[in-house]
């Protein structure tokens, strides 16, 4: 069943009544959030859900920085601004377009009630003497971080919250880490905005299952 096949009223039901399938299909990347404060306990529940994700050897290679204070969110957006501008300029777009996109990205951070930075933490991984296995170990950790974030997003949606997943920290992890005074052992990989939706998100079509399965025997 694709997202387009689900009746619109399903997404408007009280979310705690939804099936797992409906939660998965109802979750979306929401760009417009209300200024309404998110109770800290709900944030903690979202991160607790992330902690149940599978991880290599059970090492749980993820940590989370949480920003709720305006000054912290503005400091992060300011620190990332120059990198955003240079990265967007690489696309060859006019300076006015680059400035607008940069401004909108910064506004998504500063206006969100909560910003969560998922970080990769490799200190507890198994260590190998050969490069190939160590690289595979790191890849497993990155995959695990993605699973943890997905748990967080689904828990947020189940609690009546909405989220947006931004990948900007991947392009400037050192800048993000310095802006938040994070331990050098933490590598920021994403930025999750969290709050109550202020507008309906744009839903893109999903590929049918038969197109996704490339081998079955």
Predicted pLDDT of residue 131: 94
Q: Name the pLDDT band for 6 (thresholds 50, 70, 90).
A: very low
Query: Has residue 5 got a pLDDT over 70?
Result: no
**pLDDT, the chain, mean:** 90
Q: Is residue 157 part of a domain?
A: yes
- Give the per-residue pLDDT at 14: 63
Query: Is residue 26 scored above 80 in pLDDT?
Result: yes
User: Is the pLDDT assigned to residue 7 strictly greater than 60?
Assistant: no
The answer to whether residue 1 sits within a structural domain is no
Name the residue range of residue 120's domain: 38-195
Alpha-carbon span 79 to 165, nearest angstrom: 19
Does 102 fall in a domain?
yes
Strands (E), 28-131: 62-67, 114-121
Task: Tell me if 215 is assigned to some domain.
Answer: no
pLDDT in the model for residue 20 = 92
Q: State the Cα–Cα distance between residues 217 and 198, nearest whole angstrom.
A: 46
Does some domain include residue 135?
A: yes
Domain count, the chain: 1
pLDDT tens digits, one per residue of 136-151:
999 999 999 999 999 9
Query: For residue 74, is pLDDT > 70?
Result: yes
Domain for residue 130, yes or no?
yes
Q: Assess contact for 183 and 156: CB atoms under 8 A.
A: no
Task: Tell me if 127 is assigned to some domain.
Answer: yes
For the segment 14-25, what is each residue's pLDDT rounded down to a tens digit? 687 889 999 999
CATH number of the domain where residue 191 is located: 3.40.109.10
Residue with tokens 């096949």: 5
In the 3-class helix/strand/coil scheme, how is the chain assigned residue by residue?
Answer: CCHHHCCHHHHHCCHHHCCHHHHHHHCCECCCECCCCCCHHHHHHHHHHHCCCCCHHHCCCEEEEEECCHHHHHHHHHHHHHHHHHHHHCCCCCHHHHHHHHHHHHHHHHHCCEEEEEEEECCCCCCCCCHHHHHHHHHHHHHHHHHHHHHHHHHHHHCCCEEEEECHHHHCHHHHHHHCCCCCCEEECCEEEEECECCCCCCCCCCCHHHHCCCCC
Instruction: Give the predicted TM-score (pTM) of the model.
Output: 0.89
| 202 part of a folded domain | no
pLDDT-based confidence at residue 99 (cuts at 50, 70, 90): confident
């Amino acid at each position: 069943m694709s997202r387009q096949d689900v009746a619109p009223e399903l997404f408007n039901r009280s979310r705690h009544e939804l099936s797992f399938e409906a939660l998965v299909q109802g979750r979306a990347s929401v760009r417009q959030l209300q200024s309404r404060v998110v109770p800290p306990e709900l944030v903690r529940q979202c991160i607790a859900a992330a902690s149940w994700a599978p991880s290599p050897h059970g090492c749980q290679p993820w940590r989370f920085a949480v920003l709720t204070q305006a000054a912290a969110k503005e400091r992060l957006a300011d620190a990332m601004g120059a990198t955003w501008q240079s990265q967007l300029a690489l696309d060859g777009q006019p300076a006015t377009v680059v400035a607008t996109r940069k401004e909108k990205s910064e506004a998504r951070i500063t206006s969100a009630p909560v910003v969560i930075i998922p970080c990769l933490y490799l200190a507890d991984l198994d260590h190998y003497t050969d490069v190939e296995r160590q690289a595979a170990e790191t890849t497993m950790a990155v995959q695990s971080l993605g699973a943890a974030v997905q748990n967080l997003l689904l828990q947020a949606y189940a609690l009546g919250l909405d989220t947006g997943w931004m990948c900007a920290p991947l392009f400037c992890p050192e800048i993000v880490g310095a802006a938040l005074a994070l331990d050098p052992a933490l590598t920021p990989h994403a930025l999750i905005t969290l709050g109550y939706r202020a507008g309906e998100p744009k839903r893109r079509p999903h590929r049918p299952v038969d197109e996704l399965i490339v081998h079955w025997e």
